Amino acid sequence: MHRRLKALSPDWLRGGHSDWRMTTIVCMNPFLTSQAGQCRIVSRQDLLNSGMRPKHITAAVRSNTLIRVRRDHYALPETDRHTLEAVRVGGREACVSAAREIGFFAFDSQFTHVHIPREASRLRSPQSRHVPLAAAPRDGVELHWWPLIDSADGTEYCVGPRDALAQIIQCQEPRFALAALDTALHEHKIRAADLDEIFAHIPDKHGGLRSRIDARVDAGQESVVRDLFRSAGYRCDIQVYIDRVGRVDILVEGCVVVEADSQSHHKTWEEHIRDRTRDRLLAALGYVTLRVLYQDIMFDPEGVLRALQKLVDICRHGSPRVFSIAQAAGIRGA
C-alpha cells in the first residue's frame, strides 16, 4: 500500500506485547473522511515500515491487538464490520456500504456491498479468511462485479464516490438512488461535472433520474419525500426562507410546510421548544405544518402522501370537520 504512515510514538516498541498498538499508525488519506484520516487497513510492509518487526506482528495477532483480515491485510479489532467483510472477501466496500463510509445518504447499509474485480482470485467468506467464498453462504453480503469508472479512486478498502453512486443507481430503488445523488452533491463528495461520467457508465434506462437531482436538500429523507410529493403532482419548493421563521425543508403548494426528521437525531428539549415555536409562527402566518418521521418516509410513503393530500385539501377548500363539529355542538345544545 502506498499511503504515507507516521509513528506517533516509539514507546510501544520498547514495551511488552500488550503495549503494541496499531493506533500509533496514522494513514494520511485525502479520500477518507469518516475516520479523520486514520488508516484502518494496512499491509505487512506498512507495519514493518512503521518500526514493527515480524515477531511483533505475530504477537499482536495472537493477542488480538491486531486482526489478520486476509493475507497481507491487517486491521484493529474495532474496525468497522463492513470494512472487514469487504476486505476479507477480497474486494472493497461498494454501493450503499461505500456511501455510508464516504459520507452521503445510504438507505439500508445493513448488508455489506462488495465490489469484486473480474480478475480477482482467492475470494474468501466474509466471516472467515480460511473458507473459500464459493463454499460459503453469501447471506448478508451483496457482490458487485461491474467495471469501475476509476479503479484508482477511493481507498484500499472502499471504492470512490462516483463508482459508489453508479452502483447505487443500478442496485437500489430510484428514490433512494436520487437521495444518494442529491446528498453526494450537497456534501461536495462529487461535482456536478461528475454526473456525466456516472450516467455514461450505467444503462440508459436510468437516465431519467438525472433531471430529478437537486443538490439543495440537506438530507436524504428530504430528497425522498420531495420526490414522493412531486411524483404525485404537487409543486414543491425546497429550503424556502420564511420571514420570522427561517428556512423550512419543503413548502408544498405554497401552503403546507413539511419538515423531515432524521433517522438517528434525538432531539433535546430545547430543540422541541424551537420546533413548536416555529410551528406556532407558521400557523400565525397561515401555513399548515406536517412533521414526518424518517421511518414513515422510508417505510410508509403512502401514509405520508395521504396526510399531505388531506392538508392540501384543507388549505384549498377548508376542513369538512369544521361544519360537522359545529353542527354536532348545535344538536347537543338543543
Question: Which residues of the chain register pLDDT less than 50?
Answer: 1-37, 334
Locate the domains of the chain by residue range: 1-79, 81-215, 220-333
What pLDDT does residue 218 have?
87
Give the angle 291-183-275 at the CA atoms, nearest 5°.
Answer: 25
Q: At what angle do helices 161-171 and 95-102 cross, to 10 degrees?
A: 140
Give the Å distances, CA to CA, from 93 to 76, 89, 100: 17, 10, 10
Fold type of domain 220-333:
Endonuclease; Chain A (3.40.960)
With a CB cutoff of 8 Å and minimum separation 6, the contacts of 131 are 124, 125
* Cα 281 to Cα 298: distance, rounded to the nearest angstrom: 28
What pLDDT does residue 24 have?
42
| pLDDT, tens digit, 9 for 90 and up, residues 168-201 | 999 999 999 999 999 999 999 999 999 999 999 9
What pLDDT does residue 275 have?
85
- DSSP for 150-161, please give it: -TTSSBTTB--H
Average pLDDT over the chain, rounded to whole? 81
